[in-house]
Structure 1
Amino acid sequence: MREVGKKLRRLGFAAVFMLAASATQARSQGSPACGLPAALGDGWTIDSPDSAGLDSVRLCAISARLKEIEANVHAVVIVRHGKLVFEQYFAGYDEPWGQGGGQHDFDATTKHDMRSASKSVISLLVGIAIDRKLIKSADEPVVKFFPDYSAQKSPGWDNITLRHLLTMSSGIQWDENRGWKDPKNDEPHLGNEADPIRYVLSKPVAAPPDTVWTYNGGGTDLLGNIIERVSGKSLEAFARDTLFAPLGISDWEWMKYANEKIAPAVGLRLRPRDAAKIGQLVLNKGDWNSKQIVSAKWIAQSVTPRFQAIGYFSGLFFYGQQWWMGRSIAQEKEVKWIAAMGSGGQRIFIVPDRDLVVMTTSGLYFRPYQGDAALDMMANYILPSVRDNNTR
């Protein structure tokens, strides 16, 4: 995958224009329009890129680019001005949850692992629980929700709040940067321990809360369990009733670990065009079809940069409440975005200044440069394709 990163940097803008020219020639020869979204009756209004102020010729060059750099991208979905305007799917290697690795075909009806993009959905669910007064606020202490573990919690846990878990600033000793089979990698313990909640709460507090950012799926798993405890429902039922059903998302799964415990931090499977609805919900500040699903206040808190997230994924990003923030440079202009990110190249990009949502899936699990293809598409194809002034 290092070669992929090198290719991306080597090709540059010259390749973009060459591929765009190829797309123009194909169109002049009568080829059908690429990326035309399917009408599935799933709540999306369908439009064309050109009608939505995007350059369709430039977007049509994406598939050739991905083939050239062997990016193993499975889906590219684009939403502009609240309408689904572009989607393309590609066969490739994947490692679906519990199925092992192999070649797979993908289309508009195929669910895909979201991996750690699941964390951003958990953030929305916590916000909904607060909106419904099931939780007083994100500043509630975590241990309040786990009285049955009072004897197991490590010293210092009394000072950790839900917001610390959301921003990954709890300060607990946690390491997910090791090899998967390394016993010091904490993440596999979430799926292997008979009681993963006990495992997380027993971790020592290595730094005062709100001082150090450390990527931590264990905190997200605690948040998922808290949702179950305050709602009296399974995480799946709460997600279905409060988020997915209102968004018109009916074909989804939330997978379990080998220990049969739900996997809040990494287990969500969605169709890419349904995942794009999550992005549109955030872009609309919690509103979907004039219904406020999660408060605008919670969205604003969630996407406010709070920490510099260094050394996780490729790039230099900021972190909010289970949401990433970053920027792309497109045509010498800085464009800020918000994102849900998952291992393997799962990305939901939200670009408020361009009224744009971009969702990508791919199969590059546990490999370096796994997000380069998505960022390349954003910087060299999708953002430069915007050609109207009708932005937010």
Structure 2
Amino acid sequence: MRDDEEDAMGMIERVDEVLHEGKAPALHGLVVVSGGRIVAERYGEGPDHRLGEPLGHVVFDRDTLHDVRSVSKSVVALLYGVALGRGLVPEPGEPLLPQFPEYRDLVDDPARAHLTVGHALTMTLGLDWNEDVPYTGPDNSEVAMELAPDRYRFILERPVVEEAGTRWRYCGGASALLGALIARGTGRPLEEYAATELFEPLGFPAYEWSKGDDGVAMAASGLRLRPVDLAALGRLVLDGGGDLVPAAWVRELGRPRVEIADGFWYGYQWYVSTGGRPWVEAIGNGGQRLLVSPEEDLVVAVTAGEYDEGQGSATAVLDAVLGR
């Protein structure tokens, strides 16, 4: 037996032990890709939601769509790179406010003149934004954004609380702005651009993108995919973008730009670990995870149902996969 086969068998045994012992009770889906092939695929069952809408008790299998929540942000970043490679959206260093000329008062505000597209990509806008409270009411800035009559004005007129580029502050509004730039630059709704430029070329049989009351796809959190297709997006990143996303952009996504914690950074809408086992990761509320480890030729996609409760089930499974 080859070493890679032994490693895969050991990983599968660890995963199954975690599941058997009930250490990941809210796991809905797991797909592990190593060496270019699926080496583990597991599905669970339990209550599920579509962005807060109860779906009842669901028995998951390969064909079940699942909210990926804020993993959507990282997919938007991939789409931004596709559009950027075609000259349809502004470079990261371009000023941000002039991309929204309809807000003349904000464009002319000298306190916002230094904002760039790159500040949105890295969530360092320096604006007043709080998603540290539950996603159940308007005290949460993303919820307030979705309730606002104009989501883009709501984001861009938030009070300036610090110089942009100095500190990472989790901000779904930043992702919404990127989604708007893609839609405006391509002349197509975000979900349509995603379908034709990523999902259909990769052979996804089904996908959804939840929309706000204004009919606009929720760039920060609305994507629904099968876990196996989520893993395919990770494989795309592992392969340097393949024929779909410019390789230079994929490298930029994973370059550590602003430190969140020791050894844990943010790139362009992707988290970056610079420790002993470097990887890039997309993370969503409730245990939605997509981890890509180029050095280990490994992709791990996880979906789970611990919405607004944490990442316990996803972390238990990831720990088993990684042997940590």
Normalised to the residue count of structure 2, the TM-score between the two structures is: 0.92
Q: Is the 8 A contact 2:254 2:280 kept in 1?
A: yes
For these two proteins, the number of residue pairs brought into alignment is 322
Which residue of the partner structure matches residue 9 of structure 2?
56
1:319 aligns with 2:266: yes
Within 5 Å, give how 1:149-168 maps onto structure 2.
149-152=103-106, 155-168=110-123
Q: In structure 2, what residue type is equivalent to 1:383?
A: L
Q: Is the 8 A contact 1:145 1:229 kept in 2?
A: no
Structure possessing the higher radius of gyration over alpha carbons = 1
Which residue of the partner structure matches residue 350 of structure 1?
292
Q: Is the 8 A contact 2:90 2:117 kept in 1?
A: no
Q: Secondary structure at the match of 2:278?
A: strand
Which residue of the partner structure matches residue 341 of structure 1?
283
1:212 aligns with 2:167: yes
Q: Is the 8 A contact 2:24 2:312 kept in 1?
A: no
Which residue of the partner structure matches residue 40 of structure 1?
none
Query: Could you report, residue by residue, the CA deviation over 1:203-238 in whole angstroms, capped at 9, with x for unpaired residues?
Result: 122111111110000011011011111111111111
User: Distance between the aligned counterparts of 1:167 and 1:200, measured in 2?
Assistant: 15
Q: Secondary structure at the match of 2:208?
A: strand
Which residue of the partner structure matches residue 86 of structure 1?
40
Q: Secondary structure at the match of 1:348?
A: strand
Cα drift, residue 182 of structure 1: 5.0
Q: Higher relative contact order by CA 8 Å / sep ≥ 6: 1 or 2? A: 2
1:297 aligns with 2:248: yes
Check 1:185–1:55 CA distance in 2 against 1; reply closer, same or farther (3 A cut): closer
Unaligned runs of 5+ in 2: none
- Identity, in percent, stands at 36
Q: Is the 8 A contact 1:251 1:270 kept in 2?
A: yes
Which residue of the partner structure matches residue 151 of structure 2?
196
User: Distance between the aligned counterparts of 1:160 and 1:183, measured in 2?
Assistant: 25
Q: In structure 2, what residue type is equivalent to 1:204?
A: P
User: Distance between the aligned counterparts of 1:327 and 1:363, measured in 2?
Assistant: 28
Q: Secondary structure at the match of 2:7?
A: coil
Which residue of the partner structure matches residue 390 of structure 1?
none
Q: Secondary structure at the match of 1:225?
A: helix
Which residue of the partner structure matches residue 373 of structure 1?
313
Cα drift, residue 269 of structure 1: 0.3
Which residue of the partner structure matches residue 174 of structure 1?
129
Check 1:94–1:155 CA distance in 2 against 1; reply closer, same or farther (3 A cut): farther
Q: In structure 1, what residue type is equivalent to 2:287?
A: G
Q: In structure 2, what residue type is equivalent to 1:359?
A: A
Unaligned runs of 5+ in 1: 1-48, 329-333, 386-392
User: Distance between the aligned counterparts of 2:33 and 2:241, measured in 1?
Assistant: 16
Which residue of the partner structure matches residue 65 of structure 1?
18
Check 1:148–1:53 CA distance in 2 against 1; reply closer, same or farther (3 A cut): farther
Q: Secondary structure at the match of 2:113?
A: helix
